């Protein structure tokens, strides 16, 4: 399956301009930061997911390189593998995907989906789905207008692949 050209940077032959790419990274960082306490509660000394979110934000402002953001993403995913519970793991993965947006813009949906999964994992079974729906609504309210339709259509297209968390 080829990558969606809407998420490939213009300088690589795609349709995504730098301004919208940076907005995607900022929004992904917002999604990951919202659930970061689910990681830090059990791992207060591990700052790798927080640093990944900071790297995503720094890249979105032009203050970090793609390589720096990518290294932070890899570190956050390593933190996820060592997490003590599912919610912490998913929250760290959300942070890793947020930083990964600098390298591949379509990681924006990974940050959002893993954040929803983190909230679901942290909730008792009967309330998990509702908690995920609330998280999805929270995320959508924060979508910048310039990328709103792009993200919503991406959610629709890749929802099944991403555990149907966007419905």
pLDDT tens-digit series, residues 106-137: 999 999 999 999 999 999 999 999 999 999 99
- Tokens for 42? 């059990």
Query: CA-to-CA distance for 135 and 119, rounded, in angstroms?
Result: 7
Would you state the pLDDT for residue 102? Answer: 98
| Residue 51 structure tokens | 């640093």
pLDDT band at 1; cut points 50, 70, 90: low
- Indicate the pTM of the whole model: 0.97
Q: How confident is the model at residue 58 (pLDDT cuts 50, 70, 90)?
A: very high
- Please state the φ and ψ torsions of residue 9, each to the nearest 5 degrees: -60, 145
Domain boundaries, the chain: 5-158
- The two tokens of residue 66 are 């793609």
The confidence score (pLDDT) of residue 159 equals 96
Question: Residue 27's closest CA among 135, 148, 122?
Answer: 148
pLDDT, tens digit (0-9, with 9 covering 90-100), for 138-156: 999 999 999 999 999 999 9
Question: Percent of the chain scored above 70 by pLDDT?
Answer: 99
Q: d(Cα 68, Cα 52) in Å, to the nearest integer?
A: 9
From CA 91, how far away is CA 50, in angstroms rounded? 10
pLDDT for the residue numbered 2: 79
**With bands split at pLDDT 50, 70 and 90, how would you rate the model's confidence at 94?**
very high
């Amino acid at each position: 399956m080829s990558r969606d050209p809407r998420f490939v940077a213009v300088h690589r032959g795609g349709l995504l301009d730098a301004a919208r790419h940076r907005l995607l990274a900022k929004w992904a960082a917002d999604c990951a930061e919202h659930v970061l306490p689910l990681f830090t509660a059990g791992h207060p000394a591990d700052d790798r997911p927080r640093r990944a979110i900071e790297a995503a934000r720094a890249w979105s402002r032009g203050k970090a390189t793609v390589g720096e953001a990518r290294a932070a993403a890899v570190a956050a995913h390593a933190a996820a593998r060592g997490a003590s519970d599912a919610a912490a793991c998913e929250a760290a993965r959300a942070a890793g995907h947020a930083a990964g947006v600098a390298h591949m813009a379509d990681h924006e949906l990974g940050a959002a989906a893993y954040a929803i999964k983190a909230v679901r994992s942290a909730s008792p079974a009967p309330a998990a789905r509702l908690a995920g729906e609330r998280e999805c609504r929270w995320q959508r309210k924060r979508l910048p207008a310039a990328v709103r339709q792009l993200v919503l259509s991406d959610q629709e297209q890749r929802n099944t692949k991403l555990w149907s968390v966007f419905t």
